[in-house]
Every structure is written in structure tokens, then in C-alpha cells.
Amino acid sequence: MENEKLIQQWFNDYHDDVYNYLVYYFGTKDVEDFVQEAFIKAYQNMNRFEGRSNPKTWLITIARNVAIDHLRKNRLKRFLPISLLNKAAAPDKNPLEHVLEDETKRELYGLIKQMKPAYRDVLILRGIMQLTPEETAAILGWEKARVNLSFHRAIEGLRKQSRNEKGGAQNAAINE
């Protein structure tokens, strides 16, 4: 009975975090079945939770494993959706500003989609979800130093890809 109360409390406290992670991971908002599966697996494995990490990181780790298992079974590729960064429209922006902002987000997600999976993972967790290096390390099973180094390299890779794509687009426009 105690485990049922605890998992219910964790569900109330961390559902949104697990849901958001899976939305970023799969690129769709239709992830509620995976959220449910993650919490079921957490409940079934409560005896394995040792308290060394906080419940949020443990649950996101389980959600990550659920996602990886699903992708392996279905041989799907992971990708990031363009729409995820589209937040509610700010009333102080004009339509042109919204179009430019959306285009920038599309470019960013296009670049992130091309990165190797480890860099995508660290960018989702550290950059988008704003988890701490310690939380990210716990989820990925890495050392904190690796998280920091990979995040730095991923950011540098994004910058380099962005410069290359902009340079390529400018060169194509010049050659036309």
C-alpha cells in the first residue's frame, strides 16, 4: 500500500516532466501510453529505487528506456519536432516576428535532428528541459564531466552546422 501511495505522489509530481521528455524524444504529443508504461515499470521496480538519485531522474531514466525499447522494436528513428518549441504567442509580437521566430525554431530543430543521438539526448535534457548536469548524468548513466563536455560539444556542433548551412544557402543564392 505504501508503494501505491508513493507512485501516486510521484505521478502527481513528475507526470509533466516524464510527458515532456517523451514528447521531445518522439516528436509527438501522442505519448500518454508511454508515460503510463513508464509509471507502471516504476511501480513494478520500486524495490530497485535506492534513493541515490531523486525520483524525477529515476522516472525520466525509465521513460528513456521505454522510448528506446519502443524504437528498437519498431526500428524507428528518433527526431525532434519543430512544433515543440512553439510556445503560446506573445501578444506584444507582430505576425512577422512570429514567422521569423518559427523559422528560427525550424532551423534549430533541423540542425538538432542531424546530430548523433548522444548529443541530441544531452541537448534535450540540458538545453530544452533545463535539467542540471547531475540530473542529466543520472538519466544518461554518464559522469557529470561527460555531460558538461558533451553539452559543450553539442552546442559547438550546432554553431558549426548553422554557419555551414547559412554559408551554403548564401553561396547558392550567389550562384543563381
Please say which residue of 52, 79, 106 terminates a domain: 79
pTM of the model as a whole: 0.60
Q: pLDDT tens digits, residue range 137-161?
A: 999 999 999 999 999 999 898 888 8
The Cα–Cα gap between 176 and 172 comes to 6
How much is the pLDDT for 162? 79
Asked whether the beta carbons of 61 and 139 are under 8 A apart, the reply is yes
Q: Does 64 share its domain with 94?
A: no
Predicted pLDDT of residue 92? 57
Domain presence at residue 85: no
Contact 42, 59 (CB under 8 A): yes
Shared domain for 97 and 58, answered yes or no, is no
Judged against a pLDDT cut of 60, whether residue 50 lies above it is answered with yes
Whether 72 and 107 map to the same domain: the answer is no
Question: Is 176 inside any structural domain?
Answer: yes
pLDDT value at residue 14? 96
pLDDT tens for 10-38 read: 999 999 999 998 988 887 788 999 999 99
Quick one: pLDDT band at residue 60, thresholds 50, 70, 90?
Answer: very high
CATH number of the domain to which 98 belongs: 1.10.10.10
Residue 113, C-alpha cell as written in the block = 535532428
Helices (H), 27-143: 32-44, 55-74, 95-113, 117-122, 133-140
Report residue 176's pLDDT band, with 50, 70 and 90 as the boundaries.
Answer: very low
Say if 40 falls within a structural domain: yes
pLDDT digits (tens, 9 = 90+) for 125-135: 998 888 999 99
Q: Are residues 64 and 109 in the same domain?
A: no
Structural domain that includes position 146 = 90-176
Q: In this structure, are 75 and 94 located in the same domain? A: no
pLDDT score of 95: 63
Q: Both 4 and 46 in a single domain?
A: yes
- Please tell me whether residue 28 adopts helix, strand or coil conformation: coil
pLDDT digits (tens, 9 = 90+) for 76-90: 333 434 344 344 334
Residue owning grid cell 534549430: 108
pLDDT at 108 over 70: yes
Q: What pLDDT sits at residue 26?
A: 80
Q: Are residues 56 and 102 in the same domain?
A: no
Residue 135 lies in a domain: yes
Give me the CATH number covering residue 50. Answer: 1.10.1740.10
Indicate the number of domains in the chain.
Answer: 2
**Residues 117 and 107: beta-carbon distance below 8 Å:** no
